Amino acid sequence: MGIPFSIEQFFSVFAQYNESVWPMQVILNLLALVAIILLYRARPLKSRVLAAVLSFLWGWMAIAYHFAFFTTINSAAWLFGAVFMAGTFWFGWTGVMRSKLHFCLGGGIRGWAGGFLIGFALIVYHLLGYAMGHHYPAVPTFGLIFTIGVLHFVAAPVPRSVFAVPLVWAAVGSIAAFQLGVLQDLGLLVAGLVGVVAVIFVPALQ
């Protein structure tokens, strides 16, 4: 099944988005930095704040990117935005309202995997894009890979449902990466596979 837009249109939408919402990108990156700092510190309401950051990031991309911009070249973006809004709701409900997500800085394979995905999302992803000729403002954002990385620091038992929407989008984004030839987006596939392993092997809430 083909996609209803060209790679030029795909990156043109990102350029329009980035130029229109500036300097919101600075705030989004600061929120990501706050999330990383919180992972290293014991603070009251730490886990609720981290869940709120994830909820906000997904809501922002649903409204400010998918609904406002991506729908101009792809009608399926209305569905994609709805999926992101589902992520917003579920992070808010599970992590903020019910306080079922308890973040802590863990070691072992999960900690290394989470740290790798966060570093890839915030640094390596953009360097790969630049090396492949994708320069600002026509560049994608970091949210999905970053989210799965942060979720690796949820202490067991883990509500596996919080992985559902990120893994769905990892699958969708990976297909688009192959069809569009956006090689840095293959990081979505890696993040999705790592997330699946986490869902299978990490103890879950009953």
Q: Is 144 a member of any domain?
A: yes
pLDDT in tens, 30-84: 999 999 999 888 777 899 999 999 999 999 999 999 999 999 999 999 999 999 9
Determine, yes or no, domain membership for 169. yes
- The span from the CA of 76 to the CA of 65, in Å, is 13
Which pLDDT score is estimated for 204?
54
The residue range of the domain holding 151 is 10-201
Distance CA 140, CA 201 (A): 31
Q: Flag whether 3 is in a domain.
A: no
CA atoms of 139 and 120, how far apart (whole Å): 15
Domain count, the chain: 1
Residue 1 has pLDDT above 60, yes or no: no
β-bridge mates for residue 158, sequence order: 204
pLDDT of amino acid 31: 93
pLDDT value of position 129: 84
pLDDT in tens, 148-193: 999 999 987 788 889 999 999 998 888 877 777 777 778 888 899 9
Residue 206 lies in a domain: no
